Amino acid sequence: MKALITGGAGFIGSHVAEFYAERGWDVVVYDNLMRAKLLGHSPAAASFNLAYLKSRFPKRVVHVDSDVRDLGRLMEEARDADLIVHAAAQVAVTTSIADPALDFEVNARGTLNVLEAARRSRRDPAVIYCSTNKVYGDNVNKIPVEDRGLRYVFADPSFKDGVPEEYPIDLCEHTPYGCSKLAGDLYAQDYARLHGLKVGVFRMSCIYGERQLGAEDQGWVAWLTIAAATNRPITIYGDGKQVRDVLYVKDLVDAYERFRASSLRHEVFNIGGGPANTLSLLELLELLSGALGRRPTVRFSEWRPGDQRVYVSRVKKLEEKLGWRPTVGPREGVAKLLSWVQGNLSLFK
């Protein structure tokens, strides 16, 4: 069996690659390390996940240094793939605003290329598209919220289980990143319907875990953990009461595999920790302060475009169709992440 993982040297992609390599699959890590360069990581940090995979699985993992905008190379690698996980993306909202053309080319055009490569494959590969809760844009902020001290919560009881997959995506602010990811989301759905591809669209909330090289513009759980562990000053945009449902990365990969192994041909899933696994920024800082025995230096600034006061995924569809539910809670998961950061401080100098 062969898995093609675009963005396979990134955080989520590397965990997917590890999962299948551990199970004896041949894994192609299709990644040009562009994300790490865009976010300003050091050379050692940029190549960390790739080096980790190659050291653990020298005979199973092959690195292809290429771009998802290269349709010809994607078609070559997808020709005999049994699974394609499309995790490659431009991931920062701020970058999408500064350079929307690049954001579009990587996220929208890149996704179209992946789908075309899957369509022309000699096999019938399952395709996993890593979408985002940003497809719902500012519509989420139309749900009333209540201030509960360190956090906001949805005030409308009809959202007690979270935001459903049917929630509106139109007539609201998205940011270029939200638009490009939504374009890929819709193309993935359409290719499933038009061409019969097996496609799972996973609209992800906040995913976190070891080997996540978070930055201020993306990966907030990892970024706050790294900053706190390395005594860096932290800027909170907004008031810090914004809430996300957080999901430990290995639980995410479990959901991907459940879809791949299922008889389902096409589904859209909202995926995160759900209502039972939520954190505000302020609550995460409290958790980190307790673990470290000191409080990080924090300043506050203006809200950023496209930020959602509260986003919690309704995960009941995943439970009903795939028998999936999160197994690692925030306290345990953040402890694992912090332990990894403390064991790899040289990456964050």
Across the 349 residues of the chain, what is the mean pLDDT of every consecutive 10-residue run? Answer: 97 98 98 80 86 97 98 98 98 92 98 98 97 96 96 98 98 95 98 98 98 88 97 96 98 98 98 98 98 96 90 98 98 98 93
In this prediction, residue 52 carries a pLDDT of 97
Q: Please give the biggest Cα pair distance in the chain.
A: 56
pLDDT the model gives residue 216? 82
**pLDDT value, residue 349:** 82
| Main-chain dihedrals φ then ψ at residue 345, nearest 5 degrees | -60, -25
Q: How far is Cα of residue 66 from the mean position of the Cα atoms in its chain?
A: 20
Residue type, 199: V
Nearest to 204 by CA among 172, 165, 240, 168: 165
The alpha carbon of residue 55 and the mean position of all alpha carbons in its chain are separated, in whole angstroms, by 24
Contact 49, 26 (CB under 8 A): no
pLDDT of residue 103: 97
Contacts of 19 (CB under 8 A, 6+ apart): 250, 253, 257
Cα 97 to Cα 100, 157, 178, distances in angstroms: 6, 34, 11
Which tokens sit at 156? 């409308």
pLDDT in tens, 175-213: 999 999 999 999 999 999 999 999 999 999 999 999 999
- DSSP code of 107? I
Can you give the C-alpha Rg of the chain in angstroms? 19
Q: Which of 52, 11, 4, 48 is nearest to 26 (CA)?
A: 4
Residue 113 parent element (H or E): helix 110-119
The whole-number pLDDT of residue 21 equals: 98
- pLDDT at residue 294, as a whole number: 97
At which residue do the structure tokens 């907030």 appear?
220
| Residue-range domains of the chain with CATH | 2-348 (3.40.50.720)
Residue 7's region, left for phi above 0, alpha for psi from -120 to 50, else beta, is left
Which of 20, 129, 177, 187 is catalytic? The answer is 177
* Structure confidence at residue 168 (pLDDT): 98
What is the distance of C-alpha 242 from the center of its chain?
Answer: 18
Record the tokens describing residue 291, joined without a space: 């673990």
Measured between alpha carbons, how far is 30 from 67 in angstroms, rounded to an integer?
Answer: 8
pLDDT more than 70, % of the chain: 100
How far is it, in rounded angstroms, from Cα 136 to Cα 132? Answer: 9
Q: What is the pLDDT of residue 41?
A: 76
The secondary structure element, H or E, covering residue 4 is strand 2-6
C-alpha closest to that of 164 among 198, 133, 129: 133
pLDDT at 118: 98
Task: Respond yes or no: is residue 30 known to be catalytic.
Answer: no
pLDDT, position 201 = 99
Q: How far, in Å, CA of 308 to CA of 310, rounded?
A: 5
CA gap 323, 136 in Å, rounded: 25
277-325: pLDDT as tens digits: 999 999 999 999 999 999 999 999 999 887 889 999 999 999 999 999 9
Six token digits for residue 121 = 């494959």
